[in-house]
Structure 1
Amino acid sequence: MPSSISTSAQRDASARVRRTTFFLALAAGLAGLMFGLDTGVIAGALGFIRDEFQTNDRTTEWIVSSLMLAAAFGSVLAVFVADKWGRKGTLLVAGGLFLSGTALCSLATSVSMMIVGRACLGLGVGLAAFAAPLYIAEIASQDRRGAMISSYQLMITIGILLAFTSDSLLTPGGHWRIMFAVLSVPTVLFLLTTLLLPYSPRWLLTKGRRQEARDVLLRVRETAEEADAELSRIDRQLGREESAGAALLISNPNFRRTFVLGIALQMLQQFSGINVLMYYAPTVLNHMGFNASSSVWCTTAIGVVNTLATLAAVALMDRWGRRLLLSISTFFAAIAMLGFGTLLWTGATSMTASMIAMGFLFLFIAAFAVGQGPLPWIIGSEVQPLRGRTFAVSCSTLASWIANWLISNIFLSSMSVIGDYGVFWCLAGFNALFFVVGLMFVPETKGCSLEDIEDRINSGVRLRDAGQSSVKVL
C-alpha cells in the first residue's frame, strides 16, 4: 500500500509540473506569437501601403526592413534590460513596444510614421526574441527543454499563419489599417500573461536571491531533492566563472567557440531565405504567374504548412535529437530552393509549372520549420556558459537581425540585378552551407543538462562532441 501511495504521489507531482511548465512555456511563447504576427502582417498589407503612399522598390524595402534593423538594436538593448530587470521584465518592455508600434502603423499618415511604427515593433521583437527562448531554456527541465523551446518557434509560426489568414480575409476590402489594428488584442493578452510569470531561477541566483530561485524551482521540478540538486549545480557554475559577458569572451577560449557557433547558426538561418518568403511571398508568387488574390491565399497555405511542420518539430525534437533534424532540414531546404530557382529560370508560368513551384515552396517551408526554425534558438542558448549566456544570446540575436535586415533590404533590388532565379540559387547555396556547418560543428544536446554541456565544452572537446556521445546521428 505505501508503495502505491508513493507512486500516486509521484504521478500527481509529475502532472503538476507538466501543467506548470506548459503554462510558463505558453505564456513566454506568446512573445513568439507577437513575433510571428508582426512578421506576417506586412505580406498582405504591403501592396496597399505601396499604393497609398506611392513608394518605389527602395522605399518599400525600408518599410519592410525597418523592423529588422530596429530588432537588431533591440537585441543589444536586451542585454542590459535582461540583466537588470530579468527575462520577465524584458518581455514586459517588449509588450509595451508592441502596443505602441501597432497603434502607429494602423494610424500612419505618412511613410515616416509607418517606418517609426515598424521600428517600435522591431524593438519589441528584438527584446522578445532574445528573452523568451532564454527564459524557457532556463526554466525547463532537461528532458523537456527542446520541446518547450520548439513551442516558442511553434507560436511564431501560428502568429504568421494568423497574420496571413487575417490578411487574406481583409484583402478584398483593402483594409490594411485593420490588419495592423487587430494585433492589439494578442498584445494585451501577452502583457497580462507575462505579469503571471515567475523570474528565471538562474537570473535570480545571479542577483543573490537564492530563496526566490529555490521557490521557482520547486514549482517546476517534481521533487524538492531535484530542485535542490539543480540549485547546487547552478551555484557551482556561477562560482567557477568570475568573468561575465564580454570579459568572459576575452578570458575563456571555449566560450569564444560557442559564441561564434551561436552567431553562425542565427545568420545561416536568415540566409536560408525563410523571412524574405514571409515578407515578400505574394511578390514572389506573382513572378510565377499567380494573380494578387491567389498569391495572398497561397501565402496563407504556406503559413499552414509552416505551422504543421513546426508541430512535428515539437514532437520530434527530444526524440530524434538536434543534429539529425538539422541535417534533414538543411538538405531538403537546399533542394527546394534549387528547384524553385530552376523553375524561375525556365520562365514557365503554366498551371503545371505553378503547382510544381508551390510544391518546392511547401517543401522548403516544411524543411525549414522542422529544423532550421527552432534549432538555432535551442542550440544557441544550450551551448553557452551561464555567465556568458545573456551576452552570447544577445549577440547571436543581433547577428540574426542584421542578417535578416540585410537580406530583406536587398531582396527586391537583387532580383532586378541577378534575376529572380539567381537569388534563389544563392539561397540554395546558403542552405547547403548550413548543412555542412551542422555536420561539422553542432553537438547533440538532447537530454543533457545545461551545466553538463558547459563542463564538456570547457574540457576542450570538439564542439560536435560536447553533447551526448552515445547518440548516433548523421
Structure 2
Amino acid sequence: MENDSIENPTKVNKYAAACAIVASMISIIFGYDTGVMSGAMIFVKKEFHINDHKTEVLAGILNLCALIGSLCAGRTSDIIGRRNTIVIASVIFLLGSVIMGYGPNYPVLLFGRCVAGVGVGFALMIAPVYSAEISSPKSRGFLTSLPEIGISTGILLGYLSNYIFSRLPLHLGWRIMLGIAAIPSLLLAVGILKMPETPRWLVMKGRLGEAKKILYKVSNTPEEAEIRFRDIKEAMGIDVNCDEDVVQIHESKQSHGVWKELLLRPTPALRWILIAGVGIHFFEHATGIEAVILYSHKIFAKAGVHDTRKQILATVGVGLTKFTAIVISTFLVDKVGRRKLLLFSVIGMICTLAGLGTFLTLAEHSGGKLIWALVLSIITTYAYVGFFNVGLAPVTWVYSAEIYPLRYRALGNGIGVAANRLMNATVSMTFLTMSNAITIGGTFFLFCAVSVVALLFVIFFCPETKGRSLEEMESIFTRRKHVEDTIK
C-alpha cells in the first residue's frame, strides 16, 4: 500500500505531468477528428450530394473502425510498450488525415475516416493506461483525466476550425478542416520518443533497473519511489528485496493467456472488475453524448436555428461547455472521488435529457415559432454536455485504466474501449434514422431512460477507488460480498 505519510503526498510530480500531457496530445488529435466532422459533414454533403444514411456512415465509421484499433492495441502495448504504441497511433492518424484531406470522392473520404478510426482505437486505449501507470495514487485521477481534457480541447478546436474555414470555397474548406490534423500527428510521433516507458511495463518485462530509474523521476521523493517500486514487484510476484537490474519473468506473470483468464475463467473479483470496466464504457456513449457532439447543428436546426453559420457558432458553445466542465472535473476527481462524481453527473444527465426531449418536442411542433422553447433547448443541450463532462466522461477513462491488475490492464482496457467505440458508432450511425422514426425529442427521451439504467449500474457496480494504489484494486473488488454475489 502506498504510504500517505510521504512528504507532499498530493503534489503532482512535474516530470510525470509532462509525460501525461505529451501522451494526451494523441487525445487532442482524436477529439479534433471527432469535432471537426460535425461541421465538415455539412459541406461534404453539399459537394458529394449524399443522403442521411451515407452521412451517418461517414460520421460513425471512425468509431466502428476504432474497434479494430482498441482490440489490437492491448496486445500490441504489452509486446512493444506503451510509448511505442502511442507512436503507432500517431502514424495511423497521420495517414488517415492525409487521405481525408485529399478526399476526391466519398469512398476515398470514407476510407480515410476508417484509417483514422483505427488510430482512435489505439489512442483511446493507450493514453489513459500510460498516464495511469506513470502517476502516483494521489495524482492519478488528475493525470489520467488529461486525455479527456485533450479530447475536449480537440473537439473545441474542431468546432472552431469549422467556423473559421466555413467561408472558404466549398471544395477547399472541409478538406483543410480534415487534413490539418496531420501536422500534430507528425509532431507527436517524434515528441513521444523523448518520453520514458512506463515503469510497470518495464517491470512486467523484467527490466527492473530501468523501471527504478523512471520511478525516481516520476515520484516526489526517493521514499515514494521505493514504495511504488516494491508494490509493483510484489504485484508481479518478484521478491521485494530483489536488487538485480534484469530478471526473468515467468510467462504466467506476463500477458500470455490473459484472454482465457479474463473472459473464460475469471476470479469473482476479476469478473466484477470486468463488468465495471466494460459497463462504464458502455454507458458513457449509450446515454447519447455523441448525438450532441456530431449532430448539434441538426439539434439546433430542429430547435429553430436555420442559418448554417449560426448553427456552427452555437456548436462552438457545446465545445466550450465540454472543455470547461472537463477542466473542473480534473481538479475534483482526486478530491471528491470517482463514485460521487459519477452519481452527480448521471443524475444531472437524467434531468437535462428529460428537459431537452420536452423542449425539442415543443419547438419542433411549433415549427420554431416558440422562441422560449428554442432558448431552453439550447440551454438544456449545454447543461447536458456540462453534466456529462464533469463526471461520466473523465471518470470512465480514469476508472477503467486503474481498476485492472497489471497483467490484465491493457487487454481489459482494450475491451472496454471496444465497447465504448461500439456504442459510439451505434449512436453516430443511427441518430438521424431514430430521429426520423420517433422524432428528435423521442430520441432524447430514450437516452434519458438509458441514463436511469446507468445510474443503477453506478450504484451497484462501481466502488470508490480514490487514493488507492493500482496494486490494491483487486482487493477493493473483493469486498461488499452481496454485490459480488449478484454478478456470479
- What is the TM-score when the length of structure 2 is the normalising length? 0.89
Name the structure 2 match of 1:124.
Answer: 119
What is the distance in 1 between the residues matched to 2:42 and 2:274? Answer: 39
Name the structure 1 match of 2:69.
Answer: 74
How many pairs were matched up?
Answer: 454
User: Which of 341, 350, 358 is matched with 1:325 structurally?
Assistant: 341
Name the structure 1 match of 2:291.
Answer: 276
User: Which of 5, 10, 35 is matched with 1:40 structurally?
Assistant: 35
Name the structure 2 match of 1:209.
Answer: 207
Name the structure 2 match of 1:148.
Answer: 143
Deviations 1:193-248 (A, max 9, x none): 21111111111111111111111111101233322221221121122975752232
Preserved contact between residue 135 and residue 143 of structure 2 (Cα < 8 Å):
yes
User: Which of 81, 89, 92 is matched with 2:84 structurally?
Assistant: 89
1:320 counterpart SS class: coil
Q: CA RMSD in A?
A: 1.9
Preserved contact between residue 337 and residue 360 of structure 1 (Cα < 8 Å):
yes
**Which residue identity is paired with 2:385?**
I
Change (3 A) 1:460 1:421: closer
2:166 counterpart SS class: helix
What is the distance in 2 between the residues matched to 1:459 and 1:88? Answer: 34
Which deviates further from its counterpart, 331-340 or 165-174? 165-174
Name the structure 2 match of 1:234.
Answer: 232
What is the correspondence of 1:424-443 to structure 2 with a 5 Å cutoff? 424-443=444-463
Displaced runs of 4+ in structure 1, greater than 4 A?
240-244, 458-464
Change (3 A) 1:14 1:418: closer
What is the distance in 2 between the residues matched to 1:302 and 1:184? Answer: 24
1:58 positional shift: 1.2
Name the structure 1 match of 2:318.
Answer: 302
Name the structure 1 match of 2:280.
Answer: 265
What is the correspondence of 1:38-437 to structure 2 with a 5 Å cutoff? 38-173=33-168, 174=170, 175-239=173-237, 242=253, 245-249=258-262, 250-291=265-306, 292-346=308-362, 347-348=365-366, 349=368, 350-437=370-457
What is the distance in 2 between the residues matched to 1:135 and 1:304? Answer: 27
1:33 counterpart SS class: helix
1:74 positional shift: 0.4
1:383 positional shift: 1.4
1:448 counterpart SS class: coil
1:253 positional shift: 2.7
Deviations 1:40-81 (A, max 9, x none): 010110011111111111111111111011101100110221
What is the distance in 2 between the residues matched to 1:45 and 1:57? Answer: 14
**Which residue identity is paired with 2:199?**
P
1:141 positional shift: 0.5
Deviations 1:267-322 (A, max 9, x none): 10001111121111111211111121111000001100111111100111111111
What is the correspondence of 1:12-51 to structure 2 with a 5 Å cutoff? 18-51=13-46
Change (3 A) 1:415 1:176: same
What is the distance in 2 between the residues matched to 1:83 and 1:147? Answer: 24
Preserved contact between residue 146 and residue 330 of structure 2 (Cα < 8 Å):
yes
1:192 positional shift: 2.6
Preserved contact between residue 272 and residue 430 of structure 1 (Cα < 8 Å):
yes
What is the distance in 2 between the residues matched to 1:44 and 1:463? Answer: 45
What is the distance in 2 between the residues matched to 1:297 and 1:259? Answer: 40
1:418 positional shift: 1.2
Preserved contact between residue 275 and residue 404 of structure 1 (Cα < 8 Å):
yes
**Which residue identity is paired with 2:73?**
A
Preserved contact between residue 144 and residue 318 of structure 1 (Cα < 8 Å):
yes
**Which residue identity is paired with 1:394?**
G
What is the distance in 2 between the residues matched to 1:114 and 1:30? Answer: 24
Preserved contact between residue 383 and residue 454 of structure 1 (Cα < 8 Å):
yes
Deviations 1:415-462 (A, max 9, x none): 111111111100111112111211222111111111122233356756
**Which residue identity is paired with 2:372?**
T
Preserved contact between residue 72 and residue 402 of structure 1 (Cα < 8 Å):
yes
2:237 counterpart SS class: helix
Deviations 1:346-400 (A, max 9, x none): 2242322211111100110100010011111111122111111111101011111
Q: Which runs of 5+ in 1 are unaligned?
A: 1-9, 465-474
Preserved contact between residue 138 and residue 467 of structure 2 (Cα < 8 Å):
yes
1:184 positional shift: 2.1
What is the distance in 2 between the residues matched to 1:259 and 1:94? Answer: 25
Q: Which runs of 5+ in 2 are unaligned?
A: 1-6, 239-251
What is the distance in 2 between the residues matched to 1:248 and 1:369? Answer: 34
Deviations 1:98-148 (A, max 9, x none): 111111111111111011100111111100100000111111110000011
2:303 counterpart SS class: coil
Preserved contact between residue 262 and residue 392 of structure 1 (Cα < 8 Å):
yes
What is the distance in 2 between the residues matched to 1:224 and 1:236? Answer: 18
Query: Greater helix share, 1 or 2?
Result: 1
Preserved contact between residue 254 and residue 460 of structure 1 (Cα < 8 Å):
no
Q: Percent identity?
A: 29
What is the distance in 2 between the residues matched to 1:399 and 1:153? Answer: 17
What is the distance in 2 between the residues matched to 1:14 and 1:263? Answer: 29
Preserved contact between residue 457 and residue 463 of structure 1 (Cα < 8 Å):
no
Preserved contact between residue 36 and residue 160 of structure 1 (Cα < 8 Å):
yes
What is the distance in 1 between the residues matched to 2:340 and 2:220? Answer: 30
Which deviates further from its counterpart, 154-163 or 283-292? 283-292
**Which residue identity is paired with 2:116?**
L
